[in-house]
């Protein structure tokens, strides 16, 4: 979604969204509210989502929020979100965090690839297509590290690992694009 759901409200203030932004756990918050949650805890580490308690490592403002940038309040909140993303979006993540973030990034990437109004840089698209082609060739080729014909279902393990690595690679590429767009460009 390019914005929060129609009949939803911010989970922090329970009011209408003001400068809405989406966390990497897919929940929406007012930009100012989630910044208050962060400042209420330790400013040296990322805050946890008030709904699901997952660590928030990336905040993505809605398109409408970005159009409000010229307003003083919005400019201040978006500046804080950019600073938050500079601190926490570029850091290394554990395997469990990457698995949790995978659906969020893949959904956003697919929507962006399908939307003719939005365009990813050509280099990013090329990296995604090359990774997709290489993964497809390996999975479909008869040459495997663990052959399916001999070991049956266990032989699919290497194919599943390659597919998972492909998804991690694509999600990492898209995460870096979002990080650059929403706060990492000045670091």
For the segment 122-174, what is each residue's pLDDT rounded down to a tens digit? 777 777 888 888 888 877 777 666 666 666 676 677 778 888 888 888 888 88
Burial class (CB in 10 A: 0-12, 13-18, 19+), 45: exposed
- Phi–psi pair at 110, nearest 5 degrees: -60, -45
Report which of 110, 104, 108, 111 is spatially closest to residue 25, judged by C-alpha positions.
Answer: 104
N-to-C CA span, the chain: 27
Beta bridge partners of 29: 21
Predicted structure pTM score: 0.66
For the segment 87-117, what is each residue's pLDDT rounded down to a tens digit? 887 666 677 777 877 887 787 787 777 776 6
């Amino acid at each position: 979604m390019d914005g929060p759901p129609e009949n939803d409200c911010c989970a922090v203030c329970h009011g209408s969204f003001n400068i809405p932004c989406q966390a990497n756990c897919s929940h929406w918050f007012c930009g100012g509210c989630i910044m208050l949650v962060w400042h209420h805890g330790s400013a040296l580490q990322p805050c946890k989502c008030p709904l699901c308690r997952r660590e928030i490592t990336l905040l993505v403002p809605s398109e409408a929020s970005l159009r409000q940038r010229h307003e003083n309040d919005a400019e201040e909140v978006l500046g804080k979100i950019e600073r938050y993303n500079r601190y926490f979006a570029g850091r290394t993540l554990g395997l469990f965090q990457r698995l949790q973030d995978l659906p969020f990034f893949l959904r956003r990437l697919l929507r962006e690839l399908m939307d003719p109004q939005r365009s990813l840089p050509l280099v990013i698209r090329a990296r995604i297509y090359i990774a997709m082609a290489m993964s497809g060739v390996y999975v479909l080729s008869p040459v495997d590290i663990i052959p399916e014909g001999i070991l049956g279902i266990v032989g699919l393990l290497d194919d599943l690992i390659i597919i998972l690595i492909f998804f991690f690679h694509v999600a990492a590429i898209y995460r870096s694009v979002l990080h650059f767009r929403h706060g990492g460009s000045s670091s």
